[in-house]
Chains A and B, each alone.
Chain A
Amino acid sequence: MWKTIVSNLPAWPVFIQAAVVFLVPYAISRLFHWIRTTEEE
């Protein structure tokens, strides 16, 4: 059972890519959020 689960898991680069998938838009959104708040101030 455990072997089947492990064999179906994607390779480690996929997890790094998943982190990139999250971080890029998140960083952009935080940047624009920061720009908007500094403009308001």
Chain B
Amino acid sequence: MIPTRNDRITTSQTAVIIINFILGAGILTLPRISVEKAKTPDVWISVLIGGLLAMFTGIIIVKLSQRFPDKTFFEYSQEIAGEWVGRILSLLIICYFCLTSSLQVRSMAEVTTFYLLEKTPTWAIVMVFLWVALYLVVGGINCLARMLEIILPITVLFFLVVSLMSIKIFEIDHLRPVLGLGWKPVFDGIKPTALAYTGFEIMMILVVYMRQPNKAVKAVVVGISASLIFYLITVVMVIGAFSIDGVVTRTWPTIDLIRSFEITGLLFERFESLLLVLWIMQIFSTFTLAYYSAALGLAQLLKKNIEPFLFGLLPVIYIITMTPKEINGVFALGDFVGNASIFLFGILPLLLLIISRLKVGKHEAKSSS
């Protein structure tokens, strides 16, 4: 696939896309999920290690994609693993993107119904969300990248300001003792925290669109580092405010943190509505990226135009979104998607990179003899 000139994106746009894709629904549940596993206040160390692991995996994906600079994963997987295996792998990744986008929409609908629009039916919230996303995505990757460039600074700035305002209820003792139970709980917490960084897999598709594909590693490192800082601040502030016992009993601890304080004298005294509006924008960006990736995958797999797939995927995503019957079903779907991502983006790219290197080595040995 050779993108047109209008489809090219800069290195900074690539980094912005990665940050936006990583920072989805995870930010609201990460403190609870990681504390549930680790059961110590040292979760912030797990967040740090998880980020480094994600960075390593992201670099592997970039190195793999850079070997095929004019192809996306859906095209080069067939070259590396053979036509049928490549098609099956591509189909698995398309399913993953569909599930991810549905999960994001459902999380958004749950939180919106719970905190903002109590009596609005879920279908009304979801439908409008899907239609607006379709309108954006029809414009292509460049429209997406430009919108994300607007969304990211607004969300990051406001989120950090609101998080830092919770310093009033922050207790440093809730984070102590550091490594009181040793390194084992920290390692237990790595899996859920590393899963919160899923999003770098978008590089399987993005490298081909980059104006300077040789700078893709830089984009991944910047993207994951920014997300790491973001997660670190969130986890530290939430545990510092509620302690680990308080975090595990809350479904959305990050929202509860913002709800738990008021600042008088400012334009707003309570900040949760503002945070939720910004967070919905963030979810929207994660959703549109996953949705676009799934449609692009289908279009490239079947060698057709992307537009029919953008329309065709809407009802599929809607049905998957509405399938979990209650919130625990949504979290179970999230766990399933997370576990699938370990294989699809942790193990698979490394395997494909090794196979492609071996193939080149064999080819070179043959041509020299």
Docked Cα-Cα span, A29 to B123, in Å, equals 22
Given contacts A18-B318, A19-B315, contact A24 B131 (CB under 8 A): yes
A21 at the interface (CB under 8 A from B): yes
Docked Cα-Cα span, A9 to B130, in Å, equals 21
A21 / chain B contacts, CB cutoff of 8 Å: 127, 130-131, 314-315, 318
Q: Is the CB of B312 within 8 A of A10?
A: no
Q: Is the CB of A29 within 8 A of B323?
A: no
Q: Is the CB of B319 within 8 A of A15?
A: yes
B127's closest neighbor in chain A, by CB? A21
Q: Which B residues from 294 to 313 make CB contacts under 8 A with A?
A: 311-312
B134 at the interface (CB under 8 A from A): yes
Docked Cα-Cα span, A40 to B311, in Å, equals 25
Docked Cα-Cα span, A26 to B123, in Å, equals 18
Docked Cα-Cα span, A35 to B134, in Å, equals 20
Q: Which A residues from 1 to 41 make CB contacts under 8 A with B?
A: 8-10, 14-15, 17-22, 24-26, 29
Q: Is the interface of B mostly helix, strand, loop or mixed?
A: helix
Identify which of A8, A17, A22 contacts B123 (C-beta below 8 A). Answer: A17
Q: Is the interface of A mostly helix, strand, loop or mixed?
A: helix
Distance in Å: Cβ of A14 to nearest Cβ of chain B: 5
A10 / chain B contacts, CB cutoff of 8 Å: 319, 322-323
Q: Is the CB of A22 within 8 A of B311?
A: yes
Docked Cα-Cα span, A1 to B339, in Å, equals 22
Q: Is the CB of B131 within 8 A of A25?
A: yes
Q: Is the CB of A18 within 8 A of B319?
A: yes
Identify which of A8, A14, A18, A29 contacts B311 (C-beta below 8 A). Answer: A29
Docked Cα-Cα span, A20 to B312, in Å, equals 12
Given contacts A17-B123, A17-B127, A20-B127, contact A25 B323 (CB under 8 A): no
Identify which of B131, B135, B315 contacts A18 (C-beta below 8 A). Answer: B315
Q: Is the CB of B322 within 8 A of A25?
A: no
Q: Is the CB of A17 within 8 A of B318?
A: yes
Q: Is the CB of A22 within 8 A of B323?
A: no
Distance in Å: Cβ of A11 to nearest Cβ of chain B: 9
B123 / chain A contacts, CB cutoff of 8 Å: 14, 17
B130 / chain A contacts, CB cutoff of 8 Å: 21
Q: Is the CB of A25 within 8 A of B315?
A: no
Docked Cα-Cα span, A39 to B13, in Å, equals 36
Q: Is the CB of A9 within 8 A of B315?
A: no
Query: 4 closest pairs, A vs B, by CB?
Result: A18-B315, A22-B315, A14-B322, A18-B318
A selection of 18 A-B contacts at a CB cut-off of 8 Å is: A8-B323, A10-B319, A14-B123, A14-B318, A17-B123, A18-B314, A18-B316, A18-B318, A20-B127, A21-B127, A21-B315, A22-B312, A22-B314, A24-B131, A25-B135, A25-B311, A25-B314, A26-B311
Given contacts A14-B123, A17-B322, A18-B314, 9 further A-B contacts (CB under 8 A): A10-B319, A10-B323, A14-B323, A18-B319, A19-B315, A21-B130, A21-B318, A25-B314, A29-B311
